[in-house]
Structure 1
Amino acid sequence: MSAAMTYPGHIKAILVLGLPLVGGHLAQFAIGLVDTVMLGWYGVNELAAVTLASTYFFVLFILGGGFALAVMPMVAAAEASGDEISVRRSTRMGLWLSLAYALLVMPLMIWSRPILQLLGQEPLVAQLAAEYLRVACWGIIPALLVMVLKSYLAALERTQVVLWVTLTAAVTNGVVDYMLIFGNWGAPELGLFGAALASLVTQMISLIAIVAYAAWRLPDHQIFLRLWRPDWEMMGRVFRLGVPIGLTLVSEVGLFAASALMMGWLGTLSLAAHGIVVTVASATFMVHLGLCNVATIRAGNAYGRQDRAHMARGAIAVTGLSLVFAVLTMIVFVLAPVPLLSAFMEADNPYRPEILEIGVMLLAVAALFQLVDGAQAMALGLLRGVQDTKVPMVMAAMSYWLIGIPTSYYLGFVQDMGGVGIWLGLVVGLAFTALFLMVRFWGRTIKQIGVAA
């Protein structure tokens, strides 16, 4: 029956499943957004520092997030084929691998200052970023575990709880940020340290909430029963699927991290403007990311049933929705840049005119990559759904690192285009990724699934 679903039927199913995921991603993003906005009000150096520290943290976090994202298609396929045991096994080993990874990379954040200075950042900004990371690093443990459990619940199409848990976390973070950064309600004024502490508290609350839900609402899966017992065969499967996903993600994040480093070479104001524009562009990308997750889940379900026709129609529908949203975003970026950027600075900020001037130009370039960024996200989501991750990893890494980053450097510094040139390099890297991955999915991967459509 699934193969006969019409395109309107696919679109409705995608929206029902995807809107809570989009909302959850936006709420998760709001945690970092609130840090950026409030520290932007607090001071320019603090804003530059949290931009740098958040980028550094996110690179390490998203590499480990590959194990969580591997759980999503594995659980979706197992659920579709009625294999409840594999649902439990893959989720448990996703938790194992995520915890091990978190403990492995924490020292890189605890002792981050010399690394940041080695990367050419200004000494004061590097020092402040390192102070932030010494506290925030502890949050990578609950953050990765939460990501695994969100993937597990989303694959079972329990996306409403993912939304509500994340919304609660975002509200908590905002309240604690306001209290600790500025010293409101009798609390000490902790500035950057307060923002880091608020994020850590938020991540712990999220973990407690999502563990409680999974144990209460899905007791038959017994996810946490004898959790300490290893399952080496399943761990290997999650590892082999998750590492390419993580490396693909970190390749993309590395593209943006490299752009942040290059913007840092242009000065603190350029880095601050970059941080604001990245935040705005990242907010819109949360919609594509939610649709990417839907693509993974629905492709994973079709993969579990070996239903190619259903997969193909669903892929067209989810890519079309991403395209429509990208066009709307481009219009807003071009027509209303100043209101978007102004939200991140106080009106009397002495650096406001310079940051706005840089930011408006960067936002115009950011409008260009909305289409290609959405397209590459949809292709990656579909390929993960059919557990095709190794070749896409190579394609993405080549596009980002051998094309995107060199282009950013060439345009930004050799051609002396500054921040605009750096951002145009991002567009080029994302465009090649989208092209390669879409050809991979439609030209090869989907043809190997089930019977002809």
Structure 2
Amino acid sequence: MTETPPETWRDELRALLALAGPLVGANLLQMAVFAVDVVFVARLGPVEFAAATLGVFLFNVLAFALVGLVGAAEPLIAAALGARIGAVRQVRRSFRMAMWLAVLGTIVVVALLNIAEPLLRLAGQDAAVAARAGVFCRILSLAVLPAVLSALMRMTAAALGRPGWAMVVTLLALGVAILANWCLVFGNGGFPALGLEGSALASVTVSFASCLAYAAILVSDHKLRRFHLFGKWWRTEWSRMREIVKLGAPIALGWVAEGGLFGGAGLLMGLISVTAIDAHAVALNIAAIAFQIPFGLAQAATIRVGFAYGARDAAWVGRAGGVAIALGIGVMVATAAVLWAVPHLLVRAYVDPAREVAVAALAAQLLGVAAIFQLVDGAQAVAAGVLRGVQDTRVPMMIQVFGYWVMGFGTAAFLGFTLGWQAIGIWWGLAAGLGVVSALLLWRWSMRERLGLLPARAA
């Protein structure tokens, strides 16, 4: 990976793949970590499974919002490296103030997770499920800060030319997750059988292990340690924090809108039945695994476009973004074909179709819809990533809120309940929201020069 303009589209593709490959691999391993939790908790019964599903939804929406906020450091770091002027100091500033934001934001997230039960009751969820989810979230709140710091350190290492560490740490996390769930959920290895609470404690253990591993890497890797990222961590630079907040707040809100759409769909499923919640969780987990490929490409695209943006090279900006979008769409065509071809085989990895007949059948039907929205989901993810690279986040956030909640959630509620399509209608609503967001973000990227999104000298 270089921070100089590639001469051809092929060179840019090669550079993008070198950066994206480890990030995609790490994302897929992270989904394996999530799958471990699902596989263990699913065997505790439908109420416990539904509680974990809703609890993880709340955790992910809130924690990912905080990751989006501090993640604004990534395009700032990439732009500093592309500009090549005072890069070390600028990188350190962005990283340090992003850490401050992570700590401050954790206070809010933890407070919200500790009132999960009344929040879920207000959303009309089953009382028994809400009570168990409340206990689950209180324990899981301990994982917020290490999880967010891990994400920040991972993004920083990738931008600084060390994306491969993400795979190493996530592989470590997978091993810890398997061992911790095996010991704590069912009481193996001399540990007490803690059930749902054991799964939450396993997640906390994984988060702390990952955080410590990334911290050790940042201070020991020969390329990363020269930035002295933890140097003078107590020093505040409010101007840089404001810059991160200005860029990161729309990213956070956009991620909340997207995560909230899928989580809101889960809440709508809860109004149908526990079976619908469980089928939604299984199908969504499978679709999310496929989504990790364009998501990794989007992360890499933000960095590549950020390099070009910092270098004030309009041609490079267009080349980097165009390669990433084309590759993202192409990959999702292949994953959509897999979901369409073998849905029952994929579902069988999560639930026993002989024991959970209704859940398995409904999850397979939902995957048929997922095969359709995989195409637009990949496009919108990479389009949002390249726009972040040119530090354009406010309007994309507005597009996401409109597309996901007005078009997506509105259509889901209409098809699911007004027309009586139930769970299938809700998932077609998800597809509608993703399609609108994808089209609008791609249009904005295509109009980047007319809209003044390029650096002044580049334009």
TM-score by structure 2 length? 0.95
1:47 to partner: Cα distance: 1.4
Decide whether the 8 Å contact of 2:78 with 2:306 is kept in 1.
yes
Q: Partner amino acid for 2:393?
A: T
Counterpart-to-counterpart distance in 2, 1:12 and 1:394: 33
Contact 2:4 2:82 in 1 (8 A): no
- Indicate whether 1:7 and 2:12 are aligned: no
| Counterpart-to-counterpart distance in 2, 1:226 and 1:213 | 18
1:227 counterpart (221, 228, 233): 233
**Equivalent position of 2:297 in the other structure:** 291
**Matching residue of 1:248:** 254
Match of 1:386 among 386, 390, 403: 390
Q: Which amino acid aligns with 1:28?
A: Q
Tell me, yes or no, if structure 1 residue 269 matches structure 2 residue 275.
yes
**Equivalent residue letter for 1:440:** R
In structure 1, the partner of 2:58 is 56
Sort the Cα spacing of 1:179 and 1:445 in 2 relative to 1 into closer, same or farther, 3 A: farther
Distance 1:56 1:178 in 2: 24
Q: Is the 8 A contact 1:5 1:310 kept in 2?
A: no
8 Å Cα contact 1:2-1:310 kept in structure 2: no
When normalised by structure 1's length, the TM-score is: 0.96
Specify the alignment match of 2:350 in structure 1.
Answer: 344
- C-alpha distance in structure 1 between counterparts of 2:148 and 2:4, whole Å: 34
Match of 1:134 in 2: 138
CA RMSD of aligned residues (A): 1.6
State the distance in 2 between where 1:47 and 1:75 align.
40
The answer (yes or no) to whether the contact 1:41–1:346 under 8 Å persists in 2 is: no
Matches within 5 A, 1:65-214: 65-82=67-84, 83-214=87-218
Q: How many residues align?
A: 451
> Which of 14-23 and 40-49 deviates more?
40-49
Question: For 1:345, what is the secondary structure of its paired residue?
Answer: coil
> Unaligned stretches of 5+ in structure 2?
none
User: What letter corresponds to residue 449 of structure 1 in structure 2?
Assistant: L
TM-superposition CA deviations, 1:363-406 (whole Å, max 9, x none): 10011101110111011000100101111111111111111111
Against the structure 1 CA distance between its residues 411 and 348, is the aligned structure 2 distance closer, same or farther, given a 3 Å change threshold? Answer: closer
Post-superposition offset of 1:28: 2.0
How far apart, in 1, do the equivalents of 2:422 and 2:229 lie? Answer: 51
Whether contact under 8 Å (1:68, 1:151) holds in the other structure is: no
Cα distance in structure 2, aligned partners of 1:54 and 1:5: 45
Aligned residue in 1 for 2:28? 26
Mapped pair 1:309 → 2:315: yes
Alpha-carbon deviation of 1:65? 1.1
CA distance in 2, matches of 1:10, 1:219: 27
- One-letter amino acid matched to 2:113: M
- Asked if residue 422 in structure 1 is aligned to residue 452 in structure 2, the reply is no
- 8 Å contact from structure 1 (residues 66, 243) kept in 2: yes
Aligned residue in 2 for 1:449: 454
Normalized per residue, the structure richer in helix is: 1
Tell me the distance in 2 between the aligned counterparts of 1:448 and 1:243.
18
Deviation at 1:42, TM superposition (A): 2.5
Report how far residue 4 of structure 1 moved. 5.4
- Other-structure match for 2:41: 39
Q: How far is 1:348 from its partner?
A: 4.9
Deviation at 1:219, TM superposition (A): 2.8
Give structure 1 stretches of 5+ with no counterpart.
none
| Alignment of structure 1 residues 304-383 onto 2, 5 Å | 304-346=310-352, 348-349=354-355, 352-383=356-387
Distance, in Å, in 1 between the alignment partners of 2:257 and 2:134 is 23
Give the distance between the partners of 1:362 and 1:448, measured in 2 at CA: 38
Q: Secondary structure at the match of 1:182?
A: coil
Q: Deviation of residue 220 (structure 1)?
A: 2.5
Q: Kindly indicate whether the alpha-carbon contact (under 8 Å) linking 2:109 and 2:144 is maintained by their aligned counterparts in 1.
A: no
| Post-superposition offset of 1:79 | 1.3
How much identity, in percent, do the aligned residues show? 36
Q: CA deviation at 1:347?
A: 5.5
Q: What CA distance in whole angstroms lies between the structure 1 residues aligned with 2:6 and 2:251?
A: 31
Residues 146/423 of structure 1: CA separation in 2 closer, same or farther (3 Å cut): same
Q: Take 1:5 and 1:103, find their aligned partners in 2: how far apart are those partners?
A: 47
Query: Which residues in structure 2 correspond to 1:403-442 (within 5 Å)?
Result: 403-442=407-446
